[in-house]
Amino acid sequence: MDTLPPRVNYGYYSPIPASSGIYRITCAITKKFYIGSAVNLRDRYQVHFRRLRLNKHENPHLQRAWNKHGEHAFTFEIIELVLIPFLIEREQYWIDKTQVVKKGFNIAPNAGSALGRKHSPETIEKIRESNRRREMSPETLEKMRQSHLGQPSHNRGKKTPPETREKIRQASLGKKLSTETREKLRRASLGQKHTPEQIEKQRQATLGHKKSPEAIKNIRQAALNRHKRPIEEMEAIRMDYASGMTYRQLAKKYVIGSTHLVQVLEGVSAPIKVYGERKAKLRVEKQEARQAKLQEEKLLGERIRADRDTGMTYLALAAKYGISKTQAGSIVKGEAWI
């Protein structure tokens, strides 16, 4: 076997061949070692010792021994050169023969996999926390989306067994989504259109379902709020549209439907500040118009009754004022337009 110290400058020549084979990393002080296989032994040697020097090696046992005893206590040895198809088989042979899992630094008892390796509760919690906080960049998400375009779903054509559905239903009972999660789901669904088949399925699924009073109240309040927006926000929407933003981008940014967005851009929608004033003004205008109409009818009724006193017939009154003969009779008798 070729034994190499960890830090030796060989210049352009390295005695480690760029071949496939089985290697061993040994601690000269404790006599413990690590066995592995590599398609390129030279590259694997460099990767191992570089990560150990950076204190970022994936094997905690080997890293702790390196930190304790120092770099010069470790050597890299080539056990045998092996063809690539037989690497895993020969690595398993040396793992079993040397019992390196019990006596050395190896963690997994099976070559080429992590089967049999058990993480501590602290490690499991760290992995869970790191995965939970991990957020992919918009560029990565877009690349993933593009890579899946045109590919059929792996679940297409498969039907979930009733037992699995029941387990999923039981597991989700009592769970409530947070406000942030609901907002993300709502924003993600903005601008999406359902196919006629999906609409029909949803309609069939909701037949016979009755909404609670709270749900009805929330739906009504949401409908009211959709048409009330601050003046500043409406101006910002128009400015963003003028700068080149699309309808879909505006809808996601301001959480607004396409119909209401068109109304805002065309100046039809009323903002919050003038919504109440406009409603009150319309009410006053209606009352004033009704009072004016009643006053006009009262004056017209007095003229009709005066003409009747002069001897005009009901037929002549109907022709003069553009009303029916029966209506003229009701006005003269005081039953209307008093």
Alpha-carbon torsion angle 172, 178, 183, 186, nearest 10:
10
Strands in 28-164 per DSSP E: 33-38, 74-81
2-111: CATH topology: GIY-YIG endonuclease (3.40.1440)
The confidence score (pLDDT) of residue 140 equals: 84
78 in Cβ contact with 33 (< 8 Å):
no
The confidence score (pLDDT) of residue 9 equals: 45
Beta bridge partners of 4: 76
Task: Write down how long the chain is.
Answer: 338
Nearest residue to 45 via CA among 69, 10, 70:
10
Task: Report how far residue 96's alpha carbon sits from residue 90's, in angstroms, rounded to the nearest whole number.
Answer: 10
The confidence score (pLDDT) of residue 144 equals: 83
The confidence score (pLDDT) of residue 3 equals: 55
Task: Report how far residue 6's alpha carbon sits from residue 52's, in angstroms, rounded to the nearest whole number.
Answer: 10
The confidence score (pLDDT) of residue 12 equals: 42
The confidence score (pLDDT) of residue 272 equals: 47
Task: Report how far residue 83's alpha carbon sits from residue 327's, in angstroms, rounded to the nearest whole number.
Answer: 111
Q: Which two tokens stand for residue 107?
A: 């963690």
Per-residue pLDDT tens listing for the chain (338 residues): 555 555 444 444 468 888 999 999 999 999 999 999 999 999 999 999 999 999 999 999 999 999 999 999 999 999 999 999 999 999 999 999 999 988 899 988 888 755 455 667 888 888 787 777 677 788 888 888 888 777 766 677 778 888 888 888 888 887 888 888 888 887 877 777 778 888 888 888 777 777 788 877 777 666 655 556 677 788 888 888 888 888 888 888 887 777 777 777 777 655 544 455 666 677 778 888 888 888 888 888 888 888 888 888 888 888 888 888 888 888 888 776 65
121 to 125, 259, 287: CA distances (angstroms): 6, 53, 74
